[in-house]
Amino acid sequence: MDLETLLNAMTPEVYSRISTAVEIGKWPDGTPLTQEQRDSAMQAVMLYQSRHNTDAAHMTVEVGGEIKFKSKAELKRDFAGEGGEDTAQVDEIARFGHEQL
């Protein structure tokens, strides 16, 4: 199978299953990936992302094949937008000194 045929046949559902398999090292049925399968699956995920990933997360391959690294500020803005909260109104993490514990 050539590259174009593979990418054209890969649906978002197939991409999701392959991506999850690469992340956890197992296929959905629990069978472990061999190193060869993991390498091939990772390449397929990166190729799919290079064609379809218009909203690249931190450290992914975006459309055009460029690796996208989001800054801390971009990630904060993205996460604040998901919950509908404004970053200025988000409570900070509680911090304690050793003498307070």
Please give the residue that has the higher pLDDT: either 70 or 17: 17
How far does CA 15 lie from the centroid of its chain? 11
Sequence ranges of the domains in the chain: 3-100
d(CA 65, CA 52): 10
Share of the chain above pLDDT 90, in %: 22
Amino acid symbol at 41: A
pLDDT digits (tens, 9 = 90+) for 7-38: 888 899 998 999 899 989 999 999 999 999 99
The pLDDT, as a whole number, for residue 82 is 57
Please give the residue that has the higher pLDDT: either 57 or 88: 57
**Alpha helices (runs of H) in the chain, residue ranges in sequence order:** 3-9, 12-24, 35-52, 72-83
Quickly list DSSP for 17-38: HHHHHHHHSB-TTSPBPPHHHH
